[in-house]
């Protein structure tokens, strides 16, 4: 069954929520990270996974997942409305200090990518880590690659090199660009993605095979 999705209202909601984003460090000691990722079986069934990891050891404590129907289509810039409800449902049952999302934070046309959306709804620090740039100009500042909003010239993210490829890091909520970058850098080990995201990505693929 298809669900009517009002794009204009979704965009208006993003603009409203983006005003609530805090790009200052509003957290204490981090001892538990939760990473979320998803995969799709066809176009209409999602496999969403959330895994909790100790920090800094990065040992996984637990994971939960949902396999469910998706009624909202994929629309560039509105990914959160398709995937975030499943992440929020999973995270409401878990204990953690910070959220790591496969997607963007404020490096988004309306400064509210999926990581910012989830962080605002749950009122938790969040970071987006993506494989491709969605929005912003790439510049070099003090020998570091940064993502800049072309309209305001504000720094909205950074680019880290991992195994010869780019990772696009942007804060979601309650964390600064600098802290988000340093934190993600501390999670890079033997894989292209930060360890928690690498593991939940692998879990989504395994579960996808199981439920296909």
Mind listing the pLDDT tens digit for each residue in 91-118? 999 999 999 999 999 999 999 999 999 9
Kindly report, residue by residue over 158-174, the tens digit of the pLDDT. Answer: 999 999 999 999 999 99
Q: CB of 144 within 8 A of CB of 158?
A: yes
In the structure, how many helices (H) and strands (E) does the chain have? 5, 9
Name beta bridge partners: 158.
146, 169
User: What domains appear along the chain, each with residue ranges and CATH number?
Assistant: 7-211 (3.30.2170.10)
Residue 2 in this model has a pLDDT that exceeds 70: no
Q: What is the pTM of this model?
A: 0.96
Largest Cα–Cα distance of the chain, in whole Å?
A: 52
């Amino acid at each position: 069954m298809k669900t009517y999705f009002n794009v204009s209202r979704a965009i208006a909601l993003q603009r409203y929520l983006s005003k609530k984003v805090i790009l200052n460090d509003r957290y204490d000691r981090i001892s538990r990270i939760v990473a979320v990722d998803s995969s799709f079986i066809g176009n209409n069934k999602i496999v969403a996974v959330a895994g909790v990891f100790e920090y800094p050891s990065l040992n996984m404590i637990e994971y939960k997942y949902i396999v469910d129907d998706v009624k909202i289509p994929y629309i560039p810039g509105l990914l959160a409305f398709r995937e975030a409800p499943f992440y929020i449902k999973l995270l409401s049952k878990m204990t953690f200090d910070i959220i790591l999302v496969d997607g963007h934070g404020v490096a988004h046309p309306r400064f509210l990518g999926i990581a910012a959306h989830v962080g605002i709804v749950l009122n938790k620090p969040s970071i987006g880590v993506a494989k491709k740039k969605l929005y912003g100009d790439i510049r070099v500042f003090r020998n570091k690659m940064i993502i800049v909003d072309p309209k305001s010239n504000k720094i909205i993210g950074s680019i880290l090199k991992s195994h010869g490829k780019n990772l696009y890091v942007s804060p979601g909520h309650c964390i600064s660009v600098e802290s988000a970058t340093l934190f993600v850098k501390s999670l890079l080990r033997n894989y292209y993605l930060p360890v928690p995201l690498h593991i939940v990505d692998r879990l989504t693929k395994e579960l996808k095979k199981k439920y296909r």
